[in-house]
Amino acid sequence: MNLITKSVLPGKWQASQYELASEGVNQAHSAGILFQKELKESNIPLENVRICYSPFSRTTHTAKVVASVLDLPFEGPQCKYPEIWALDEKDPFTRPEGGESAADVAGRLAHAMATMESEFQG
The pLDDT tens digits of the residues spanning 54-84 come to 777 898 899 999 999 999 988 765 566 677 7
Is the pLDDT reported for residue 2 higher than 60? no
pLDDT tens digits, one per residue of 23-32? 999 999 999 9
Residue 89 to residue 103: CA distance in whole angstroms:
10
Closest CA to 6 of 102, 74, 96, 107: 102
Distance, CA of 119 to CA of 29 (rounded, Å) = 36
Distance between CA atoms of residues 70 and 36, nearest Å: 6
Q: What is the pTM of this model?
A: 0.54
Q: How far are the Cα atoms of 1, 107, 111, 115 from residue 121, in angstroms, in the given order?
A: 18, 21, 15, 10
Rounded distance between C-alpha atoms, residue 32 and residue 63, angstroms: 9
Question: If you average pLDDT over every residue of the chain, what do you get?
Answer: 81
With beta carbons less than 8 A apart as the criterion, state whether 79 and 37 touch. no
- CA quadruple 27, 30, 36, 42: dihedral sign: negative
Whole-angstrom distance, CA of residue 96 vs CA of residue 102: 10
